[in-house]
A = this chain, B = another copy of it.
Amino acid sequence: MENKGRKVPEVVIRRLPRYYRYLAELDRSGKTRISSNALSEKMGVTASQIRQDFNYFGGFGQQGYGYNVKSLLKEISQIFGINDGYKAIIVGAGHLGHALANYSGIQKRGFSIVGVFDIDKKKIGQDYNGITVRDMSEAEAFIKENDIDIAILTLPKNAIGEVADKLVEYGIKGLWNFAYVELKTKKPVPIENVHLTDSLMTLSFKIKQKSE
């Protein structure tokens, strides 16, 4: 599948993992194809929107047949580099770092976590799901030797800017940030900020609105 070279809008990129999730569910339940209308209904997106979205990547539907679940999953996997075996480290071995080291969803999406780092002597040496927590001072050598792609940042927000810049210097290609800041690095790399409390605030809003 060729990417047609057009810049893919952020909003389209954000919709694809949802398609992927639903298609993976269909696949597990043994469904082999889905009509454009059924996909549209499930996703809450118009059928023409779905066609438009997929057209950015060459379009995968077939008139009158709909979509083949397995091949669509495969195409989306390729688009997202899910089969490219990206390697990640976790920086910050607190509770959230520990939880992410044990989070099977990451591995299932084809990413492997191969290292965990911290500066806290009490955490260094501990075993997190088969990975030994290392001293942060070893990060540079580890990243270079193991060709690490992604750093998962689960450290306090006051320390994060400096650490992120160093990691990028060492060769990290993208950051998955869980600290409560809009992270930016001196040398720009792709960054995804996960702000858990944003969605909690949204939930709270909806509960409040319903009870008024």
Interfacial residues, chain A to chain B (CB-CB below 8 A):
3, 8, 13-14, 16-18, 20-22, 25, 79-82, 84, 86, 94-96, 98-99, 102-103, 105-106, 108-109, 111, 149-150, 173-176, 180-182, 189-192, 194-212
In the complex, chain B residues whose CB is within 8 Å of the CB of A84? 204, 208
Shortest CB distance A133–B (Å)? 15
Of the candidates B99, B190, B197, the one whose C-beta lies within 8 Å of that of A203 is: B190
Of the candidates B3, B16, B203, the one whose C-beta lies within 8 Å of that of A192 is: B203
Q: Is the CB of B86 within 8 A of A96?
A: no
In the complex, chain B residues whose CB is within 8 Å of the CB of A209? 3, 8
Known: A150-B203, A190-B210, A204-B80. A103 touches B96 (CB 8 A): yes
In the complex, chain B residues whose CB is within 8 Å of the CB of A211? 173
Is the contact region of chain A dominated by helix, strand, or loop, or is it mixed?
Answer: helix
In the complex, chain B residues whose CB is within 8 Å of the CB of A94? 99, 102
In the complex, chain B residues whose CB is within 8 Å of the CB of A21? 180, 182, 195, 198
Q: Is the CB of B13 within 8 A of A205?
A: yes
Of the candidates B16, B150, B204, B210, the one whose C-beta lies within 8 Å of that of A207 is: B150
Complex copy number for this chain = 2
Distance in angstroms between the alpha carbons of A105 and B201 in the assembled complex: 11
**21 A-B pairs, CB-CB below 8 angstroms?**
A3-B209, A13-B202, A13-B205, A17-B195, A18-B182, A18-B198, A20-B201, A79-B205, A79-B208, A81-B208, A82-B204, A84-B208, A96-B99, A98-B99, A106-B197, A109-B197, A109-B200, A150-B207, A190-B203, A190-B206, A192-B206
Q: Is the CB of A207 within 8 A of B95?
A: no
Known: A103-B196, A105-B197, A199-B194. A22 touches B174 (CB 8 A): no
Shortest CB distance A35–B (Å)? 19
